[in-house]
Amino acid sequence: MSEVQVDAEQVRAAGTSMAEVGHTVGSCTMGEDLLAVAGAVDGADAGRAATQLAEQWQEVISTWTRAAQAQAEALRASADSYDETDRASARAQQHLGGRLAVLP
């Protein structure tokens, strides 16, 4: 079993930053920009190719954003879990300390 070291606050901060990055990337609506190509080159194959790529970009950005939010949630959940484990361990130690106090 591997050794575990963790600063839960740092993990939580990483999760918060990840959520912000996901929000930034999600606002990059490159696909919408690209749709203008089709109207600029009437009759050209490039217009259809640009539309196809625009849809692809929308999908990729959307998928990436969801993955980033999932990662952010996972990091924050890990931090919460570590905090909870730590609190539970502390309670156990305190409880044990109380029982040891009654020993002669």
Partner 1 sequence: MTLTLAQVRTWRPQVLAGVADALSVRRRQLLVAVEDLDLEAAPPSSWTGAAAGAATARHDELRESLAEVTGEVAGVISALDAASAAAQAVCDDLDGVLSFAAGQGCRVDLHTGTVHASDDGADPQVIADRLTGVLSAAVTTDAELTRALHYATAVLGQAGPGAEEPEVTRLPAGATEVEVARWWNELDPAAQQHVLDHHPEWVGNLDGIPAWARDEANRTLLPRYRDELAAEHDRLLDLAIAGPGGSDFFIRAGRTAKMLEGLAQIETVLDRGDRQLLLLDPSGSHELRAAVAVGNVDTADSVGVMTSGFGSSVRDSLASYDARMSSLADLAATESLRQGRVQEIATVSWHGYEAPQVDTGLLLPSRSVLSAAPAEAGAEDLASFLRGVEASRETPAHLVPMGFSYGSVVTGMAMQEVTGADAMVLIGSPGMGTSDLADLQLPEDSAYMIEARRDVIADTGWFGGDPSHLDGLTGLSAREETIDGVTYTESVGHSNYFEEGSTSQYNLAQILAGQPEHAVEHHGRGIGDWFSQWWSR
Q: How far is the CB of 93 from partner 1 (least distance, A)?
A: 21
Q: How far is the CB of 24 from partner 1 (least distance, A)?
A: 5
Distance CA(27)–CA(18), nearest Å, equals: 14
Distance CA(56)–CA(61), nearest Å, equals: 9
The candidate with the shortest Cα–Cα distance to 86, out of 2, 5, 16, 17, is 5
- Residue of the chain from 5, 97, 99, 104 that contacts partner 1 (CB under 8 A): 5
Distance CA(14)–CA(1), nearest Å, equals: 25
Q: Is 6 helix (H, G, I), strand (E, B) or coil?
A: coil
Does 90 bind partner 1 (CB under 8 A)? Our answer is: no
Q: How far is the CB of 27 from partner 1 (least distance, A)?
A: 8
Does 20 bind partner 1 (CB under 8 A)? Our answer is: yes
φ, ψ (nearest 5 deg) of residue 36: -65, -20
Does 88 bind partner 1 (CB under 8 A)? Our answer is: no
Q: Which residues bind partner 1 (CB under 8 A)?
A: 2-7, 10-11, 13-14, 17-18, 20-21, 24-25, 27-30, 33-34, 36-37, 39-46, 49-50, 52-53, 56-57, 59-61, 63-64, 67-68, 71-72, 74-75, 78
